[in-house]
Amino acid sequence: MKRNEEDRQKAVEYLRSILNCGDTIYTEVLHVSRSGMTKEIKTLIARKNEIINISQAVAKATQNKFSNRKCVRIPGWNMDMGHALVYDLGRVLFPSGNGKYTINRNGDPKPETDGGYCLNQSWL
């Protein structure tokens, strides 16, 4: 296994150990490129009265770059890149959902099968 894939798997395992379906990932844009085509987004979680920056693990798990600002560097333009980043993270951590979490997306009462919707996102 290549080193990058090992690092990615370690990041995924770490994030699975601290995140559950239904958790909220807080996002903050710290930098936007001049062209607007790249954003640097900090990802945070709140645990036991503590704020934890999980950006490095998120960058590795989603195969994005980790910037000097300690943020996830994500390409994209003209869309909610915070939501896109958290959606991608959910798909990596919970590829088929978790079989229990239900959000009633489109009125469907069955457990969520798209892991992208297992995590919530909120802007700071």
- Phi, psi angles (nearest 5°) of residue 65: -85, 155
CB 91 within 8 Å of CB 61: no
User: What is the pLDDT, as a whole number, of residue 70?
Assistant: 95
pLDDT digits (tens, 9 = 90+) for 6-64: 999 999 999 999 999 889 999 999 999 999 899 999 999 999 899 999 999 999 999 99
Strand ranges for the chain from DSSP E: 24-32, 38-47, 50-53, 65-66, 72-75, 120-123
pTM over 0.75: yes
Determine the average pLDDT of the residues in 90-101: 85
Tokens of 77: 């333009």
Q: Burial letters for 14-27: b for 16+ Cβ neighbours within 10 Å, e otherwise? A: ebeeebebeeebbb
